[in-house]
Amino acid sequence: MGIGGELRGGWERGRALAADHPLLVDIGIALLVQGAMTMPFLVPRAPGLPPATWAAYGLGTLTVVPLVWRRHAPLAVLFAVLAANALYRLTVDGPGQPLPYTGLVAVYTVAALSGPRARLLTGLVLMVAVPVGVWLNTRSARELTFSLFVFAAAYVFGRLTDARQRAHRVEAEQAAARERARIAREMHDILSHAVSLMIVQAEAGPVAVRAAPERAEAAFDAISATGRDAMAQLRHMLGVLRDGGDDTGGTAPREPQPGLAALPGLLDRVRGSGLDVVYRSEGEVAPVAGDVEVTVFRVVQEALTNVVKHAEAHTATVQLSYARHELEVAVTDDGRGAHAVSRRGGHGLVGIRERAAAHGGGAAAGPGSGGRGFEVRVRIPLSAAAEVRA
């Protein structure tokens, strides 16, 4: 890891620590402000001015202490800071400060964390407090203009912080919604495929036991293999969701999701249900991004699951067509065609369209050529696929 990576890692750890311990952050801010306010006390004063006293330093510290609770009661902290500053101005002849640090932090906090009423009240209070403070100090238009500017800047920065945090929350919610939709598609595809094949094999088992016992054994073996495959994929998904170890303290499986190399195994399992599946590939095979391979696998899986569940077909054809900038996946069958279309409009086809759209492609489903059977076609631009992977 380079210096840039170490800095990013340190920044992320710092942000996580700040999020987990906001009180420590506020104490740190108060100490930083206290350090800035201490500087004028350390610099020797002009001979004509009274010396800096511990009483003045103590009252200056009193203006800083409320900042520790700034997140819990922003408006109350602002009033406490203003009152402490007024007490300092009226009772001691202490060193002045180049900036009203405590007031700026309090105004920023109100702007960032408080509602409209508190912000409006803050504005009204500052319209009175700032001119009064200038009158007690230099009574100059220059100081008044500067003070109004810095307090307005603190307020604007607070509102910008609030807007950024709101945008981050919206982005996080949208990302969570997309992830929930993705997990729902994966769970649907895995369970629907496995359960459909197991049901078909289980229904064929009793018939095979009476007619051909050796076929019954093959049916039960297919049920077992399908169940094991579904459990392996579900364990992988749950391991990723946990993002940690399993219940026994071990490490959850992290095998890659199935891609093009897993298609032959998928087709063999479907053939075990009695459906004759033909696989074809056209064009020059091009490199495909890993996430696109998963999409192709899931599209074929869902389309064949629909064939097994609804089509009453004898044969299905899976064809991958490679073009220069596009990969097309087509799954057709010789089943009931248009009569089964209405029964295929569930979450499976919606998931296929969503998967294709995620890569900048499209999907179409309907009766096959000449109105015979049913066909699912998905187009994925390979250039878009490369961008998504990057």
Q: Which pairing describes strands 315-322 and 276-282: parallel, antiparallel, or unpaired? A: parallel
Q: Write down the pLDDT at residue 69.
A: 94
Domains of the chain are 3-139 (no CATH), 260-390 (3.30.565.10)
Residues contacting 165, CB < 8 A, separation 6+: 112
Q: Write down the pLDDT at residue 251.
A: 44
Q: Write down the pLDDT at residue 89.
A: 84
pLDDT in tens, the chain (390 residues): 456 556 566 656 666 666 778 888 899 999 999 999 999 888 887 777 777 889 889 999 999 999 999 999 999 999 999 999 888 888 887 788 888 999 999 999 999 999 999 999 999 999 999 998 888 777 889 989 999 999 999 999 999 999 999 998 889 888 888 777 777 777 777 777 777 777 776 766 666 556 666 656 666 667 777 777 777 767 766 665 665 444 444 444 445 578 888 899 889 888 887 889 999 999 888 888 888 998 899 899 888 888 888 888 889 999 999 988 899 999 999 887 654 554 544 567 888 888 888 888 999 988 887 778 899 999 999 864 444 444
Q: Write down the pLDDT at residue 296.
A: 92
Whether residue 320 contacts residue 296, with contact meaning beta carbons closer than 8 Å, is answered with: yes
Q: Write down the pLDDT at residue 239.
A: 65
Q: Write down the pLDDT at residue 7.
A: 59
Three-class SS state of 99: coil
**CA angle at residue 278 from 274 to 284, to 5 degrees?**
155
Three-class SS state of 280: strand
Q: Which two tokens stand for residue 10?
A: 């340190």
Q: Write down the pLDDT at residue 254.
A: 46
The reported pTM is 0.58
> Tokens 């009793």 identify what position?
206
CA distance linking residue 335 with residue 73, whole number of Å: 69
The total of other beta-carbon atoms located within 10 Å of residue 37's CB is 21
Q: Which of 72, 75, 65, 149 is nearest to 110 (CA)?
A: 75
> Tokens 């993002």 identify what position?
243
Whether residue 242 contacts residue 251, with contact meaning beta carbons closer than 8 Å, is answered with: no
CA-to-CA separations, 234 to 45, 188, 248, 250, 350, in angstroms, rounded: 74, 11, 17, 17, 21
Q: Which two tokens stand for residue 19?
A: 């999020």
The total of other beta-carbon atoms located within 10 Å of residue 76's CB is 14
The total of other beta-carbon atoms located within 10 Å of residue 271's CB is 14
Q: Write down the pLDDT at residue 285.
A: 85
> Tokens 């250039």 identify what position?
383
Q: Which of 224, 190, 219 is nearest to 203 (CA)?
A: 219
Scored b (16 or more CB within 10 A) or e, 340-368 reads beeebeeebbebbbbbbebbebebebebb
By the 10 Å C-beta count (0-12 exposed, 13-18 middle, 19+ buried), 234 is classed as: middle
